[in-house]
Structures are given as C-alpha cells and as structure tokens.
Amino acid sequence: MREKFQRFMYGRYGSDEFSKALLITMLVCAVLTWFTNGILDTVLSLAMWGLLIYSYVRMFSRNHPKRWAENQKYLSFKNSILGRINREKNYAQQRKTHKIYSCPGCKQKIRVPKGKGKIEISCPKCRTKFIKRT
C-alpha cells in the first residue's frame, strides 16, 4: 500500500507553503459554515470544495514550474501583507511616544516626541519650518 502510494506520488509536486495556506483557508471556510446560513453558507461550502479540489490538483500535478511559480506568487503576497502589518504595528507603537506630522511642503512624515509643548519643526527633507503643539 505504502509502496503503491509512493509510486503514485513519484514525479508529482506534493505540498508547499501555498498548499498549507489553502488548507488553512479551507478549514476557516469550514468553521465559518457552522455560523452561517442561506447564500453565504452555500458560497462558503463551494469555496471550501473548490479549495480542496484545487489543493489536490496542485499536489498531484506534474507541472512543477507552474506550481513553483504559484507558490512564489503566494509567498510574495504573504510577505507584503506581513510587511504592512509590521509597519502598522510600528506606527501604532510610535504613536504612543511620538506624534507624526506630515510636512506642509513635501508631505514627508516627521516623527516628533510627545509632550514637548509648542515647538518649531523643520523638515529634514525640504527644510520647511512649521509650528506644532506636541
């Protein structure tokens, strides 16, 4: 049985990061169907089956370059999302201790420590000076 399976899988793509993500999305859809009904439930069930079929097709595929390209696309998508989340996190962190203004001259974002009262800020990029209360 094991040998049969190995022979069957020979030369096939198998799983990668993207198939893991598909699986997780599928599980999320499955869980969501418990809390929905009507058209939304139908859509989620269809999405779930679609994802299941798609991930199996990928796994048993012999077209490695195409699967690899899909995975790369997924990874860069994931990285851009993670990057955005990290930036937002950083920004939220900074807002606790700093105020962020954009320069009236060039729209450059300028970070100023909070609680300094009225101060004159000069833009490091275009040298425009403006007064703000921090």
Residue 36 phi/psi, 5-degree rounding, is: -120, 160
Going by C-beta distance under 8 Å and a sequence separation of 6 or more, which residues neighbour residue 83? none
100 binds Zn ion (CB under 5 A): no
Report angle CA 64, 76, 19 to the nearest 5 degrees.
45
Q: Which stretch binds Zn ion (CB under 5 A): 30-38, 41-49, 83-91, 96-104?
A: 96-104
Region binding Zn ion by CB under 5 A among candidate stretches 18-26, 27-35, 48-56, 101-109:
101-109
105 binds Zn ion (CB under 5 A): yes
Contacts to Zn ion from residues 18-57, by CB under 5 A: none
Our finding on whether 110 is near Zn ion (CB under 5 A) is: no
Span near Zn ion by CB under 5 A; candidates 20-28, 65-73, 114-122, 124-132 = 124-132
The tokens describing 57, both together, are: 């097709």
Task: Kindly state the smallest distance separating residue 119's Cβ from Zn ion, in Å.
Answer: 16
Q: Which two tokens stand for residue 126?
A: 């275009």
Backbone angles phi, psi at 63, to 5 degrees: -85, 80
Asked if 112 interacts with Zn ion (CB under 5 A), we say no
In whole angstroms, what is the distance from residue 61 CA to residue 68 CA? 11
Residue with tokens 């990285």: 79
Q: Which residues bind Zn ion (CB under 5 A)?
A: 103, 105-106, 108, 123, 125-126, 128
